[in-house]
Amino acid sequence: MDNEDIEGGGEDDFQGQRGRKYRPVVANDRAVLEMSSMDPGSSSSSFPNEPTSLKKVKVSAHHDMGSDAKDGNSTTQARTNGPREESNLELFGFDSLVNILGLKSMTGEQIPQPSSPRDGEDVSITVGQPKNNTLKLGTMMGVFIPCLQNILGIIYYIRFSWIVGMAGIGESLLLVAFCGLCTFLTSISLSAIATNGAMKGGGPYYLIGRALGPEVGVSIGLCFFLGNAVAGSLYVLGAVETFLKAVPAAGIFRETITKVNGTAVPEPIQSPSSHDLQIYGIVVTIVLCFIVFGGVKMINRVAPAFLIPVLFSLFCIFIGVFLARKDHPSVGITGLSLGTFKENWSPDYQDTNNNGIPDPDGDVHWNFNALVGLYFPAVTGIMAGSNRSSSLKDTQQSIPVGTLAATLTTTALYVVSVFLFGALATREKLLTDRLLTATVAWPFPAIIYIGIILSTLGAALQSLTGAPRLLAAIANDDILPILNYFKVADGSEPHIATLFTSFLCICCVVIGNLDLITPTITMFYLLCYAGVNLSCFLLDLLDAPSWRPRWKFHHWSLSLLGASLCIVIMFLISWSFTVVSLALASLIYYYVSIKGKAGDWGDGFKSAYFQLALRSLRSLGASQVHPKNWYPIPLIFCRPWGKLPENVACHPKLADFANCMKKKGRGMSIFFSILDGDYHERAEDAKAACKQLSTYIDYKNCEGVAEIVVAPSMSEGFRGIVQTMGLGNLKPNIVVMRYPEIWRRENLIEIPATFVGIINDCIVANKAVVIVKGLDEWPNEYQRQYGTIDLYWIVRDGGLMLLLSQLLLTKESFESCKIQVFCIAEEDSDAEGLKADVKKFLYDLRMQAEVIVISMKSWDGQVEGGPQQDESLEAFTGAQRRIADYLAEMKAAAEKEGTPLMADGKPVVVNEKQVEKFLYTTLKLNSTILRYSRMAAVVLVSLPPPPVNHPAYFYMEYMDLLVENVSRLLIVRGYRKDVVTLFT
């Protein structure tokens, strides 16, 4: 439904105007959603200057809510602390309306929320929205370029041609494919987790910790921090070695001379002294440390410029490769030759010295496993985008696209380079010329030297910038007290963490051997990648309702394969390094579990505990369930109204509906019924009924249990069930029952009091309520539905209505439907701002829905006869007449007995003008539903709580008018807990 299709009506929407009026949506509006509350006690207000007759409707509102406020804060203060104002939706006054003022509270503004007299506390959809960052990057600058810059590093320039010479073209292709598959599968898992909600700082640590728990997150996060710190030393040594190779005179110590093995004419090969590498490496690290202290803003401005020399140097390398046959830049360069290609196809593993120069007496023996450890750092860097999540405009789009694009681009580059290098030079040249890329570069080698130095220094700068922030993010989570020294305030630079990272980097530089450092980095990176894959595997396997990643191209088997590849590569490289790294992670895990502070991040293990039910109940504890681990546990009222046939234990469609509240059938339902009478007399009847009900549940293939309660009355029986049913966090959280459509037809006068009592009991017991109207027409699993699922989202409900609509879409019968969210707003609210904010909120929740805002106009004007096309008018006048008759009977009985007005055995206070307004509210809502949702597959609407001191009969009239002529309707009321969250 587009804005162009919506036309403005007259002053009164009820007076025959079928159009809807919107203003255009502002594209740059910040989207937030937190339910704000209405004035408590508004349902007891009265309207002055109104006639007292119920024979016609004339309701006016003299005050517009918040119309004099200048901004969101002042408006909310006026609502909260100022005089009580009247609301057009006063029937829902006990709950908080979904309105633009409440939505603005998630932008970071501190807007006080008044508590509800019924609920006792506020409900917010999310808590802890990250602060807005002024620097917002897109996919290219925020993810693709950082990933590309980190992946294309020193290994490609000074080691890749050597790897091709040692492993041959065939095994080099296998090496590239093997390592590339590992990072590709990890990128898919990373994309799935990163698109399952908003991300805070900490990159992969944040993702792993929130999926596998704080212990696993901290242990792998610290290992990943060490890997980043050591990687900084790798880049520094690469830059220094390139500089000394380009300018040999800069060496302080004499260079090492080594003879080439196996050549016809041995040539002296010069390599920089390890002492020169150490001295220059320490100096460069200190200089970079001072640059980092200058601030991240300067680094972010300069970092993209480092990529330009890299790309230009790659261009020069490829041009030089194609021109090598004509130029013959060096001995051993054959140009692109088929003969050279065939000679270099097979591997030729040799012994080398510590610098990689072939030597029959060398201490280092190379094989495929060792080359995996040397080459794998050349494909790392896929986490660079997720590390910048707080600076991205749209993490759910940028991280998957940018990361996978960088991974595929660099893998393709490596594959092409294997063929080109293998056909370019002899094996002796590949093994002895450590800078073959500079030798063949066009027009002169200096371009490659400059490109290598700038790219490696840029990558080192990234490591010295990212690693301290990772350590500060771990410290700020306040899990390990020993890390409190590295805590930083929001927006501050982690200076202490930067000094510590620089110290670690200098220690690794002192080692001075590039080939000994790379396996250490590889282990830490592989451990992190394995953690990401295992996180996605667990979340995908459990498939909780909160698991709704926008990235759909993932499967738990791919994540399991990626994690397995990471472990296999670790053992292929070095089983000793693998054991050491796993032992280090295990020690950190054990230390965190002993000394760390407990925290519930809604991790996947908690979700697994729920599926293990009683066996894991002790692990769950008694605290509030995290929204990510929330599962619907419906309490199904089997026969609340009327009587079923003798051999029918439950309404045949209740089990079908109960299955629609579960994702892929997961979850537990409790089917219960109440037998009237004495427990001692009807105990055997209860056992027989329970057995019959259990048989019915098994027949319907519904995961659930049967319970039969014997009680003197239905109200007492339900009150006992709602207090005692369940164990720990496995207590039912939603009460499901059929709407009592038969109460007036069969003149069951006791139903209104029972119905209202059950709703009030659910409110007191903090249970959500779902009332199904039109249960006889509810589809089974084979009846496919088309059209829309329409949500009339009026009051805050913790996101229950939104989640129910998503659960319906997972069923085959509703999978062809689309969701429409109708927000009923006050006349003076910002409709276009509300629409934009709700759309952005639904986007962050990974929910696809069309948002429509309908303004409920004021009650000014009289309705006498009403629009001829309104089908609800006849029901409205009938309800008006019946209420007037009922009120007259109550007054006559009170006058006869000389007592106050009594109904349902208790005194009541009736404000006739307020009753008029409640009737008119439900009339307006019913007319709106019939106007926009006549062809909907199912309609969901908020359940208004029973007004205080109103007779139950009145409330049933309000509800009857609300559901009139709507064939299939779910009336939903949430509770004081969130069931959805923005965050991953």
**Model pLDDT for residues 211-229, shown as the tens digit of each residue:** 777 888 888 888 888 888 8
The helix-helix angle for 214-246 and 446-476 (nearest 10°) equals: 160
pLDDT single digits (tens) 354-369? 667 787 877 788 888 8
Burial 330-346 (b: 16+ CB within 10 A, else e): eebbbbbbeebbebbee
Average pLDDT over residues 711-725: 88
- Judge whether residue 866 has pLDDT over 60: no
| Mean pLDDT for the stretch of residues 95-111 | 48
Confidence of residue 261 (pLDDT cuts 50, 70, 90): very low
Q: Between 353 and 338, where is the model more confident? A: 338
DSSP-assigned letter for residue 667 = S
| Residue range 34-52, pLDDT digits in tens | 333 333 333 333 333 343 3
CA distance linking residue 917 with residue 948, whole number of Å: 15
| pLDDT score, position 419 | 94
Residue 969 bridge partners (DSSP): 773, 939
Buried b vs exposed e over 33-70: b needs ≥16 C-beta within 10 Å? bbbbbbbbebbebebeebeeebeebbbbbeebbbeebe
Average pLDDT of every residue of the chain: 76
Q: Tell which wins on pLDDT, 93 or 764.
A: 764
The pLDDT, as a whole number, for residue 133 is 43
C-alpha closest to that of 214 among 616, 599, 476, 609: 599
| pTM value surpassing 0.75 | no
Residue, of 20 and 975, whose pLDDT is higher: 975
| pLDDT score of 32 | 31
For 563, the 3-state DSSP assignment is: helix
Q: What average pLDDT does this structure show over 681-701? A: 87
Predicted local distance difference test score (pLDDT) of residue 478: 80
Residue 114 confidence (pLDDT) = 38
Query: Of the given ranges (41-45, 589-593, 765-769), which has the lowest mean pLDDT?
Result: 41-45
Kindly report, residue by residue over 472-481, the tens digit of the pLDDT: 888 888 888 8
Query: Given this model, what pLDDT does residue 388 score?
Result: 67
Q: What is the pLDDT of residue 781?
A: 76
Per-residue pLDDT for 957 more than 70?
A: yes
Pick the range with the lowest mean pLDDT from 90-94, 108-112, 411-415.
108-112
- Where helices occur in 328-394 by DSSP H, the ranges are 338-343, 368-375, 384-387
Let me know: does 522 contact 217? Beta carbons within 8 Å.
Answer: no
pLDDT, tens digit, 9 for 90 and up, residues 251-260: 777 655 555 5
Q: Which residue has the higher pLDDT, 353 or 805?
A: 805
Percent of the chain residues past pLDDT 70, beyond the cut: 73
Window from 438-452, 485-499, 851-865 with minimum mean pLDDT: 851-865
Higher-scoring residue by pLDDT: 63, 442? 442
Which is more confidently placed, 902 or 954? 954
pLDDT at 415: 95
pLDDT reading at 566 higher than 90: yes
Does the structure show a pLDDT above 80 at 712?
yes
Separation CA 270–CA 500 (nearest Å): 35
Q: How far apart are CA 239 and CA 237, in angstroms?
A: 5
User: What was the pLDDT predicted at 258?
Assistant: 53
Contact predicate 348/166, CB 8 Å: yes
pLDDT (tens digit per residue) in 428-459: 888 888 778 888 888 878 888 888 888 888 78
Q: How many CB atoms lie within 10 A of CB 461?
A: 19
Better-scored residue on pLDDT, 954 or 25: 954
| Whether residue 263 has pLDDT greater than 50 | no
Residue type for 26, please? V
Lowest mean pLDDT among 76-90, 264-278, 616-630: 76-90
- CA distance linking residue 34 with residue 112, whole number of Å: 12
- Write out the two tokens for 671: 């089917």
Answer yes or no: are the C-beta atoms of 439 and 329 closer than 8 Å.
Answer: yes
- Six-digit token pair at 729? 């966090």
pLDDT recorded at residue 618: 58
Q: Considering only 72-81, 263-272, 538-547, 847-856, which range has the smallest mean pLDDT?
A: 72-81
Which of the four pLDDT bands, split at 50, 70 and 90, describes residue 746?
low
> Is the pLDDT reported for residue 108 higher than 50?
no
